[in-house]
Every structure is written in structure tokens, then in C-alpha cells.
Amino acid sequence: MSGLKPGWIMVKFGDIAQNVAVRVDPADAKTDIYVGLEHLDPSTIHLRQWGHPSDVTGQKLVFKKGDVIFGRRRAYQRKLAVAEFDGICSAHAMVVRAKPKMILPEFLPFFLQSDMFMERTIEISVGSLSPTINWKTLQVQEFPLPPLDEQMRIAEILWTADETFNQHQQSKINLLSVKRTLLNRLTVRGIGQHLTQLTRLGEIPAHWRLATVKDITSICQYGLSIPLNESGQYPILRMMNYDDGRIIANDLKYVDLDDADFNSFKLHKSDILFNRTNSADLVGKVGIFDLDGDFVFASYLIRLRADQKKILPDFLNYYLNSDLGQRRLLAYATPGVSQTNISAGSLKKVLVPLPPIEEQKQIVKVLNDLELRKHFQRSHVAKAKKCLVALLNNLVGAKIDEEVLHL
């Protein structure tokens, strides 16, 4: 390969890494750790979740601490993780172990995570429904490889960038946990200590009252049932437009409408969208609409509009997203043949704790401040991830771009 950096060589993958194909029956495995493809997260090389051998049957692969578990089925999902302990994993994965005289174990996971390697594995995967990599094919693929001292330098840079990314990621996780705790506490007990009363929702402050969704909303409306397209007049919001209690403009489809229908189904800021039918784990999702532009909503969503003399839209949205709010919603869920449903009539019956408006404002301010911090933290995570990916693909490739080191 022309243009290789001095000291770099072209190598066959089988000359730098081995496919560890030791198989074992889960019942005979001397471990409590089982890793399936569902446990591998494409956003990280760290293993954060796993199951137990008793969860599965059929022969599995044995891995040791330091091995890389690489998802050879559907490689386009880019799933791999470095094992920090011994265990067994799905036979749809590949256990890859460095040959240290050729490639450092510290460098190998980043090598596997690079676009250079991933794109090649996708190219050589076989099968249409579940394309899979064969070791026989992979081992003869050639890639550029730096000398060991440069591998060490690159690995040190990338592990540092990876640590920074993971610190931001953990901060985001911690913030989400704080938000969830406060969301559950404030929407039912309020801020500070209060005398309480026992109600059908449990204990709430004595000066609060109970209402139903019907009591505190002026609109409870089903969405549009109409064919969707890629380039219609108006974007239509659907199930995939929920994100942690907010409505986002993601993966949009479009519809064409006359003026009368558009005016009937146009969303206004602070409208709340409720997902009334879907699989059991998705029905009941709630999000508040705060997007700029003209949007309408699909038939399996219900639009709620809060009566703002009685309840703030943000407070209603936060409560319906709380653990208690979700339990009250799902109590009305009725299973169907393939989907679970909650009707508009049932939605109207859901009980809501109702603080005085001034107290609602205080609660909403605390939760909105956390929401803003969550947004900023997500931005930090995205920037750290972008930096890590840029470094990885520039340093693991055959040519090092020194400008990337200053990202």
C-alpha cells in the first residue's frame, strides 16, 4: 500500500489477532457472566451489562479478561467490548485476542472500532437477513499497522480520550438519575415539608387537591389517520419523536392536508402528546411539544391541552412522566392482539395531584433547570464522542493528522 507512514506495514488480520473458539455448555461454565449481543453497546468499548449463564442454552464461547468480544453478526451495529473479567458469550460474537508481538492488547480494541476495520467487516459479511463475518475470510484481510512503540503512543491518547468521554457519559447518567428522583418527589410531595393528607394517589400535601385529566384540560384529541410520505406539506409527529418527556423533530414523515384539516390538527406550543397504542413497553409515553414550525400528529397519539388557569403544561407533563403518573396511566391499559391500548376516555379519568399555581411554578422551575443542565451535559457527551471518534480514525489509520491531536 503506497503512502504508508514510515514504519507502518500491511498485515493480515490473522497474523495480529486470533479467533478464540473455545466452546462450553452454559450449565458447565465456571462463571456467573454471560454476554449476549444485546449486552454490547455500540457507543462504547466498555462492557456495562450482562446476564447469567442460566438465562441461555446451547454452546457458548469462553472469553478471558483482556479479550475483545466482537459482534460478528450484523457488524454494521458496531458492537464490541473489552472483557474486564472471565465469562462466556454468544456464539454470534467472536472472541478476539491480540498477538502481543504484533499488536498491543491496549491498541487492539481501538483498531477494531475504527472505520477502517468496521467498513471492511461489513463488506465481507455474508447473508441477507443477518449478515455474519466468517473468520476464514476475516483472517486474510490486510490492514495497515503501526510499530509497537507507536501503537503504545496512540493507545495512550485514545484511552485518555475514552476516559474523558466516559466521565461526561457518567455525569449525564448521574444527572438523569437526580432528575428522575426529583421528578418523582416534587410532583407528588412538592418542595419542602408539608402536612399531608391520604388520598387515592397516596399521601400528598394537605393543601393540594386531586383532579382528573378531564378536569384540567381543554382538549383531548386523537391525531390524523392519513398516508405518510417523504416530502409532503406538513411534518407529522409519531412514536419515534419522544425523548425523555420532550417531543423532538427526529426521523420525520410528512402529510398533505387542506387548510381545514391542518388547522384542526396543528400543534401549539405546550400541547402534550400521549402515545395511546403500541407495544406494552412504549404505550403511555408522554411528551410536551415546544418545537418551532408547523407540525401535526399521527392517529395513535392523543393531544392534551392544559387549562392553564388550573395547571401548568410543564407540571402536567412532568407528573405524567413520573413513576406514579405512569402507573396511573398504565392501570387503564388494555392488551390487544399485537398492541396495548389506552383510550382517550380512560386517559381523561387519570388522577393528577394539583398544587396551587404558584407552587407549580416553583416545582417546574427546579425541573426545567435540571432539564437545561441535561441538555448541556448531552452536548458535552456528543462533543467528547466526536473528538474520540475523530482521534480514533485519524490515529488508527495509516496517516496521522497532527491537527486532530489539538481537538
Report the distance separating Cα 152 and Cα 105, nearest Å. 10
Residue 367 covered by a domain: no
Residue 161 covered by a domain: no
Looking at the structure, tell me whether residues 234 and 314 fall in a common domain. yes
Domain count, the chain: 2
CATH number at residue 100: 3.90.220.20
Residue 95 covered by a domain: yes
Query: Residue 386: is its pLDDT beyond 70?
Result: yes
Whether 235 and 254 have beta carbons less than 8 Å apart is answered as yes
Looking at the structure, tell me whether residues 131 and 262 fall in a common domain. no
Amino acid at 237: L
**Mean confidence (pLDDT) of the chain:** 93
- Structure-block grid coordinates of residue 44: 462504547
Amino acid at 376: F
Q: Which band of pLDDT confidence, cut at 50, 70 and 90, is reported for residue 339?
A: confident
Looking at the structure, tell me whether residues 119 and 215 fall in a common domain. no
Looking at the structure, tell me whether residues 213 and 350 fall in a common domain. yes
Looking at the structure, tell me whether residues 114 and 232 fall in a common domain. no
Match 456467573 to its residue by C-alpha cell.
Answer: 32
- The mean per-residue pLDDT over the stretch 172-201 comes to 95
Give the largest Cα separation in the chain, rounded. 78
CB proximity list for 260: less than 8 A, separation 6 or greater = none
Which among 145, 169, 184 is the end of a domain?
Answer: 145
pLDDT confidence of residue 406: 41
Q: Which band of pLDDT confidence, cut at 50, 70 and 90, is reported for residue 129?
A: confident
pLDDT by residue (tens digit) across 210-229? Answer: 999 999 999 999 999 988 88
Whether 14 and 30 have beta carbons less than 8 Å apart is answered as no
- The mean per-residue pLDDT over the stretch 36-65 comes to 94
Which among 93, 114, 145 is the end of a domain?
Answer: 145
Whether 215 and 351 have beta carbons less than 8 Å apart is answered as no
Which among 145, 171, 195 is the end of a domain?
Answer: 145
Residue 71 covered by a domain: yes
Q: Which band of pLDDT confidence, cut at 50, 70 and 90, is reported for residue 16?
A: very high
Residue 75 covered by a domain: yes
Q: Which has more pLDDT, 359 or 193? A: 359
Looking at the structure, tell me whether residues 127 and 259 fall in a common domain. no
pLDDT confidence of residue 53: 95
Neighbouring CB atoms inside 10 A of 313's CB total 21
pLDDT by residue (tens digit) across 87-110? Answer: 999 999 999 999 999 999 999 999
pLDDT by residue (tens digit) across 239-291? Answer: 989 999 999 998 899 999 999 999 999 999 999 999 998 887 889 999 999 99
Report the distance separating Cα 158 and Cα 10, nearest Å. 22
Query: Residue 159: is its pLDDT beyond 90?
Result: yes
DSSP string, 263-320: HHH---TT-EEEE-EESTTTTT-EEE---SS--EEBTTEEEEEE-TTT--HHHHHHHH
Looking at the structure, tell me whether residues 242 and 345 fall in a common domain. yes
Work out the angle at residue 371's Cα, subtended by the Cα atoms of residues 359 and 320, and round it to the nearest 5 degrees: 60
Looking at the structure, tell me whether residues 90 and 226 fall in a common domain. no
* Predicted TM-score (pTM) of this structure: 0.80
Residue 348 covered by a domain: yes
Q: Which band of pLDDT confidence, cut at 50, 70 and 90, is reported for residue 2?
A: low
Q: How far is CA 373 from the centre of its chain?
A: 18
Distance in angstroms between the alpha carbons of the first and the last residue of the chain: 28
Report the distance separating Cα 348 and Cα 366, nearest Å. 27
The boundaries of the domain holding residue 31 are 9-145
- The mean per-residue pLDDT over the stretch 392-396 comes to 91
Looking at the structure, tell me whether residues 22 and 141 fall in a common domain. yes
Report the distance separating Cα 261 and Cα 242, nearest Å. 23
Residue 281 covered by a domain: yes
Strands (E), 4-109: 9-12, 17-19, 23-24, 34-35, 60-63, 68-71, 80-82, 87-89, 93-98
| Percent helix / strand / coil, the chain, rounded to 5 | 40, 25, 35
Looking at the structure, tell me whether residues 242 and 139 fall in a common domain. no
- The mean per-residue pLDDT over the stretch 71-75 comes to 93
Looking at the structure, tell me whether residues 216 and 302 fall in a common domain. yes
Residue 159 covered by a domain: no
Q: Which band of pLDDT confidence, cut at 50, 70 and 90, is reported for residue 402?
A: very low
SS3 209: strand
Looking at the structure, tell me whether residues 214 and 305 fall in a common domain. yes
pLDDT confidence of residue 228: 86
Report the distance separating Cα 97 and Cα 18, nearest Å. 5
